[in-house]
Structure 1
């Protein structure tokens, strides 16, 4: 489990006001953290930067489309 006390959370610029958003913290060394914007005190997911980059690349390429 990562120490996220210093995390600086941000929402995507693509987010809308419908409440279905995630927030990302990428300012911590060696970890990218993700959380539900509707529940900021709830659980979060942590990824290694390389794993997060691979995920984003797959999303951008459409590799995860159903």
Structure 2
């Protein structure tokens, strides 16, 4: 089983496409072979940790996403997103050799996204605007795994 570092041991950054860090997907680096993801609006929630190999595969999947025509859905309340019942959601994720590396996504109403790490039972939720800013950062190669080691 993989032992993950404490979130505070990582250096957290956001996409240059985000709104200055107040509403965004945060990516943590600074520990060899580990990349973390957390929610800037819920910093007390557990982070989702990836091995560098799993992170690279996750980024490949994210790069393939479209950011539609640049239109961002209307603002969403994070409290409402975290109150959503996700039991009937369809979860997608790459099959990983190591179950500890599996991270899944689900599309929520109004373009929001949920990330789930089944092994740790951690689920994070991002508004449409937060997710699009992250996708644009991924497409601009801001979070490449080589930079995370």
Q: Same fold (TM over 0.5)?
A: yes
Moved over 3 A (4+): none
| Residue 38 (structure 1) aligned to one of 32, 37, 41 | 41
5+ residue gaps, structure 1: none
Greater helix share, 1 or 2?
A: 2
Measured on the aligned residues, the alpha-carbon RMSD in Å equals 2.4
The equivalences for 1:19-38 within 5 A come to 19-38=22-41
TM-score, with structure 1 as normaliser: 0.76
Query: Could you say which residue in structure 2 is the equivalent of 1:11?
Result: 14
Ranges in structure 2 where 5+ consecutive residues have no aligned partner: 67-91, 93-106, 108-149
Q: 2:65 aligns with which of 56, 62, 65?
A: 62
Q: Number of matched residues?
A: 64
Task: Write out per-residue CA displacement over residues 21-51 of structure 1, whole angstroms, 9 at most, x where no aligned residue.
Answer: 1101121112111000001121110011111
Structure 1 position 16, deviation (Å): 2.5
SS where residue 27 of structure 1 aligns? strand
Q: State which structure, 1 or 2, has the greater radius of gyration over its C-alpha atoms.
A: 2
